[in-house]
Structure 1
Amino acid sequence: MKKVISTEYAPAAIGPYSQAISVGNMLFISGQLGIDPVTGEFAEGGVKEQTIQSFKNIKAILEEAGCTMNDVVKTTVFLADMSYFNEMNEIYASQFNGIYPARSAVAVKQLPKNGLVEIEVIGIKVQ
């Protein structure tokens, strides 16, 4: 059975979608921009700061679902420009302990609200 996962510690959905959906032991987190849920604004700075905030949002949703970063098995990173890859990757690598999830990283023409990075996650909670 599908269950909607939602927390006030991550930005509210800006369209007709859920922050995350849980099905059994699987968790699907919608793409998270680097938006601070308190201010509703992008984290100040550049792609590094937005990547840090994206992960803060992801962690808040994971926690709401009873999961941690250790449960993440797949990520997709969307970048406004591939020239941001190294800066994003530096922050990305620091978010995981040892075993990295599978990942895709692509440049897109434009992200919502002109963000620099958006990250979506799939997690599997090991029972």
Structure 2
Amino acid sequence: MSREIIHTDAAPAAIGPYSQAVRAGDFVYISGQIPLDPQTGELVGADMNSQVARVFDNLGAVAEAAGGSLADAVRIAIYLTDLSHFALVNEVMTQYLSEPYPSRAAIGVAALPKGAAVEMDAVLYLPREG
């Protein structure tokens, strides 16, 4: 099975030795995205709503670069430094995704890169034509 590296300037550049996403067969594995502005590399918004929306925007940009969208997500993992934001994540998620929703995990963590309060990664199912 071949691997294809996915990259887009519409999402933040990787801040370590990893790719924004990797396509392996019919699946695209999107690396964790935090609420970074793709142009500045800085965290966005003081409020959690803006941060969660930016993460979904970043995931969506990488999904588009892979030839899909968030509608192709079969799995999303959400990492939160404060699980009291779980309901807000659910609310924002419904603005980006509709039923049938992907499988999901929400995990409480002690800290995230650059002091972010939220990070998400995703797996897309994008069958190749032919």
Q: TM-score range by the shorter chain?
A: over 0.9
Instruction: Show the counterpart of 1:70.
Output: 71
CA contact (8 A) 2:27 2:127 kept: no
Q: Which amino acid aligns with 2:10?
A: Y
Rounded to whole Å, the distance in 1 between the matches of 2:94 and 2:118 is 15
| In 2: Cα distance, 1:54 partner to 1:2 partner | 25
Partner amino acid, structure 2, of 1:15: G
Question: C-alpha displacement at 1:103, in angstroms?
Answer: 0.1
Q: Within the alignment, does 1:104 sit opposite 2:109 as a pair?
A: no
Identity %: 38
Deviations 1:80-109 (A, max 9, x none): 111111112110122112210000001100
Gaps of 5+ in 2: none
TM-score w.r.t. length of structure 1? 0.95
Within the alignment, does 1:53 sit opposite 2:54 as a pair? yes
SS of 2:60's equivalent in the other structure is helix
What is the root-mean-square deviation in Å for CA atoms of aligned residues?
1.0
Aligned residues: 127
Q: Deviations over 1:41-99 (max 9, x none)?
A: 11112221111001111111111110111210000000011111111211012211221
Letter of the 1:91 counterpart: V
TM-score (norm 2): 0.93
Distance 1:93 1:25 in 2: 25
- Determine whether 1:13 maps to 2:14: yes
Structure 1 runs (4+) deviating above 6 angstroms are none
